[in-house]
Structure 1
Amino acid sequence: MNTTEIFLIAMTIIFTVPYLIWRLGRTDYVAPLVVVQIITGILLGPGILGRLFPDYYSFVFNPAVVQSLNGIAWWAVMLFVFIAGIELDLGQAWAHRRESSITAGLALGMPLLFGCGAAALMLMHPGWIGPQALTWQFVLGIGMACAVTALPILILLMEKMDILRQPLGQRILRYASLDDIAIWGVLALILMDWARVGKQAFFLLAFAVLSLLFRKLMARLPERDRWYVCLVWLAVCAFGADWSGLHFMVGAFMAGAVIDAHWFNQERLDMLRHHVLLVMMPVFFLSTGLRTNWAVGGEAVFVAAALLLLASVSGKLAGIQLAGKILKWPAGEASVIGWLLQTKALIMIIFANVLLDKQVITNEAFTALLLMAVASTMLTTPMVTPKLARMKELLTRSA
């Protein structure tokens, strides 16, 4: 078979296997399709399929096919992060700045602290820190991975629970939006390359100037033209960030963050996110699964994943509980918000991909983080749904 035919076999597997598992297994309550796609990517990676059927694995996922899949995955994840940047609503966060800053600060700070502690324990054993990482970069990177909230997946889950447009859902989006900015800011700090600091300073200065010009242009364009101009802007910003030594995903988020969501029809923006998830992101999940590795030993990877999950969930819940006490929330409200905000999934996987690309973490550490992200997301709906059923009045409380 030629490369095109093998590529199409791979695409057939990517879209067929997770859909059948999700639909026939009726996993939606515990594992939405996105989570099933991530798990399928792990199963199809070298750690599972590659070991069980090495000849089949090397035939389907040969270097030429993997390179083609990676190209699709890069563009898919850039679009996804770009949309996440557009959906930030800093105006609402500023209008409720005391409550938002306290809650978002503790929601980020506590799991970051717990995650850094878990990273310090991981450093006691070889095989987790990447060859290009300084100790502080590894510790801060793992800590921030434990603090991440997956804003786009959080939106999807709250849509399913019918709380996204309720006051509670809008409050949670404010907290997650503020944390999103901090997450990408810390990632940029971790990736600062002092040998190329001149390039990075030039990129940031050029981005600031071009953003002002871009915003003036967007305000004058009709909506139909804005979509096309945005894609050009995305590609340019992603290229500039990668050229300067940051990462194209950092550039993609920055490109979206300077765009006002009200420039677009909200329904169309929601549909774009939906279509990116449906049509392109499954390829990213597969390419992510191809990077998993169990070389340190499967048991060690699972132990590390459990440690990271404990740090992530307990840190997030502790931070939100403390915020609830300071702000005098009704009993039970902090638990609902904490379980929703601990959702990891895509953004943490994207974050971990960047750390792996820059060799801050190893494939083994990446695998542990990936398992933690999947488990975190699978916990959300079963934990939150019964709590919401008992506390209907929470939905209408705006602050």
Structure 2
Amino acid sequence: MPAMATSEVFLIALTVILAVPYAVWRLLRTDHYAPLVVVQIVGGILLGPGVAGALFPEAHRFVFNPQVLTALNGVAWWAVMMFVFSAGLELDLGDAWENRRETAVTAAAALLTPLALGALAAAWLFRTPGWIGPLGSYPQAVMGIGMACAVTALPILVLLMEKMGILRTPLGARLLRYASLDDILIWGVLALILLDWHRIERQGWFLIGFAVASWAVRRLVAAIPEGDRWPVALVWLAACGFAADWSGLHFMVGAFLAGAVLEARWFDEARRDQFRQFLLLTIMPVFFLSTGLRTQWGAGLGGMGGAMVFGAAALFLVASVAGKLLGVQIAGRVLGWKPGEAGVIGWMLQTKALIMIIFVNVLLDKQIITPETFTALLLMAVASTMLTTPVVRPRLARMGL
């Protein structure tokens, strides 16, 4: 039997990536606690070397061979760049500014408290070697894990609010404001973590060039017909991703900035929603698979294996959930919220999944954390997101929403 061409094996891999999570989601009816995107993330982990690779090593090596992985990684890079761009595009800073006191107090409390607890959890964990990457410093790794515990995934938040029927309500508008401001802070902190003194001149030139180019692109996009705006925006996205990566930041930082400097009102809302849904359905599963292929279960932890990874994930989950709920409770007391609001808002802002996974992928790419730390954070993101819907639905019912 002749050997299969790389294109044929690639299509086998793509079939598995698209079919398996969808079949599990539809047949097991997991939407109550795990929407399709969460099942796809879990599917990526299960299809990785730690599970499928261990159970079916020969088949795994055949399907996910180096040539196929190279092709999949290229698709994954572009998929996640477009997704992060769309997240930046959705930011509504005008609404946040109109409600700046409430937004600033809530966003700060919801970010800083889990960040502090996450950093403390990291510091405690780092007493055992094997968690900090070869190119990462202690402060970078502590701050990175702290921020990973504080992240809110704006796109997943939107998805869950749609399913719960609160997206277009006053509560939904408040949640979007809080999460949007935290999104900006998250990417700002990431830029600080990645600050490379050996490339500081390049990064300075990137910031200057980006400011000038943003002014020009904004004027151009505002002036051209809407039919031309999407092609121009994608060219702008690719250029920003390249420039950010060249400067030593990361192409995903550039992707977020590319979307954040454009106005969402320049792009039809229905087309923006379709664009996001298209990405989630068609090519983001490839990113989830590529993420799962990077998981490791304790090979670098002195033989402790998966137990240490699961223990670290549990530690991060406690820090994340407790920090977010505590921070939002503090904000609710300061702002005089109605009973029950802080609990709902705290749990909704606990949603992580996509953005946190993107965030920790950057930390792993830059070797600030090890694959074992990455795996623990990935498990934490999945668990925290799966907790959200079952906890929030009864609370909304009690509030009459």
Fold similarity call, TM over 0.5: yes
| Pair 1:310 & 2:313 matched | no
Which residue of structure 2 lines up, in the alignment, with residue 213 of structure 1?
216
Deviation per CA, 1:209-260: give whole Å up to 9, x if none: 1101111111111100001100000000000000000000000000000000
Which residue of structure 1 lines up, in the alignment, with residue 348 of structure 2?
340
Q: Which amino acid aligns with 1:276?
A: L
Q: Pairwise CA RMSD of aligned residues?
A: 0.6
Which residue of structure 1 lines up, in the alignment, with residue 376 of structure 2?
368
Which residue of structure 2 lines up, in the alignment, with residue 18 of structure 1?
21
Alpha-carbon separation, structure 1, partners of 2:227 and 2:170: 31
Which residue of structure 2 lines up, in the alignment, with residue 57 of structure 1?
60
How far apart are 1:122 and its partner, in Å? 1.3
In structure 1, the gaps of 5 or more residues are: none
How many aligned residue pairs are there? 393
Which residue of structure 2 lines up, in the alignment, with residue 381 of structure 1?
389
TM-score by length of 1: 0.98
How far apart are 1:163 and its partner, in Å? 0.4
Alpha-carbon separation, structure 2, partners of 1:269 and 1:52: 41
Which residue of structure 2 lines up, in the alignment, with residue 80 of structure 1?
83
In structure 2, the gaps of 5 or more residues are: none
1:385-396 alignment, distance < 5 Å: 385-392=393-400
Q: Which range is displaced more, 45-54 or 358-367?
A: 45-54
Q: Which amino acid aligns with 2:67?
A: A
Q: Which amino acid aligns with 1:41?
A: G
Alpha-carbon separation, structure 1, partners of 2:199 and 2:372: 28
How far apart are 1:156 and its partner, in Å? 0.4
Which residue of structure 2 lines up, in the alignment, with residue 31 of structure 1?
34
Q: Which amino acid aligns with 2:386?
A: M
Alpha-carbon separation, structure 2, partners of 1:194 and 1:137: 13
Which residue of structure 2 lines up, in the alignment, with residue 262 of structure 1?
265
Q: Which amino acid aligns with 2:11?
A: L
Which residue of structure 1 lines up, in the alignment, with residue 10 of structure 2?
7
Partner secondary structure for residue 283 of structure 2: helix
How far apart are 1:9 and its partner, in Å? 0.6
Q: Which amino acid aligns with 2:278?
A: H
Q: Which amino acid aligns with 2:387?
A: L
| Pair 1:192 & 2:195 matched | yes
Deviation per CA, 1:294-323: give whole Å up to 9, x if none: 123111000000000000010000000000
Q: Which amino acid aligns with 1:315?
A: G
Which residue of structure 1 lines up, in the alignment, with residue 331 of structure 2?
323
**Residue 359 (structure 2) aligned to one of 351, 354, 362:** 351
Partner secondary structure for residue 158 of structure 1: helix
How far apart are 1:2 and its partner, in Å? 1.4
Q: Which range is displaced more, 45-54 or 329-338?
A: 45-54
How far apart are 1:51 and its partner, in Å? 1.1
Which residue of structure 2 lines up, in the alignment, with residue 148 of structure 1?
151
Q: Which amino acid aligns with 1:40?
A: G
Alpha-carbon separation, structure 2, partners of 1:5 and 1:275: 24
Partner secondary structure for residue 152 of structure 1: helix
How far apart are 1:52 and its partner, in Å? 1.4
Alpha-carbon separation, structure 1, partners of 2:322 and 2:199: 38
TM-score by length of 2: 0.97
Which residue of structure 2 lines up, in the alignment, with residue 224 of structure 1?
227
Alpha-carbon separation, structure 1, partners of 2:7 and 2:278: 24
Partner secondary structure for residue 30 of structure 2: coil
Q: Which amino acid aligns with 2:378?
A: L
Alpha-carbon separation, structure 2, partners of 1:3 and 1:214: 39
How far apart are 1:104 and its partner, in Å? 0.3
| Pair 1:92 & 2:95 matched | yes
Alpha-carbon separation, structure 1, partners of 2:47 and 2:312: 21
Which residue of structure 1 lines up, in the alignment, with residue 115 of structure 2?
112
Deviation per CA, 1:262-311: give whole Å up to 9, x if none: 00110110110000000110000000000000123111000000000000
Alpha-carbon separation, structure 1, partners of 2:335 and 2:221: 39
| Pair 1:136 & 2:123 matched | no
Deviation per CA, 1:24-46: give whole Å up to 9, x if none: 01111011110110111101101
Q: Which amino acid aligns with 1:277?
A: L
Q: Which amino acid aligns with 1:61?
A: F
Alpha-carbon separation, structure 1, partners of 2:238 and 2:34: 33
Deviation per CA, 1:157-216: give whole Å up to 9, x if none: 000001011010000000000000000000000001100100000001000011011111
Q: Which amino acid aligns with 1:176?
A: A
Alpha-carbon separation, structure 2, partners of 1:319 and 1:388: 20
Q: Which runs of 4+ in 1 moved over 3 A?
A: none
How far apart are 1:56 and its partner, in Å? 1.1
Alpha-carbon separation, structure 2, partners of 1:199 and 1:151: 30
Partner secondary structure for residue 331 of structure 1: coil
Q: Which amino acid aligns with 1:357?
A: D
Q: Which amino acid aligns with 1:263?
A: W
**What percentage of aligned pairs have identical amino acids?**
68
Q: Which amino acid aligns with 1:342?
A: Q
Alpha-carbon separation, structure 2, partners of 1:28 and 1:82: 26
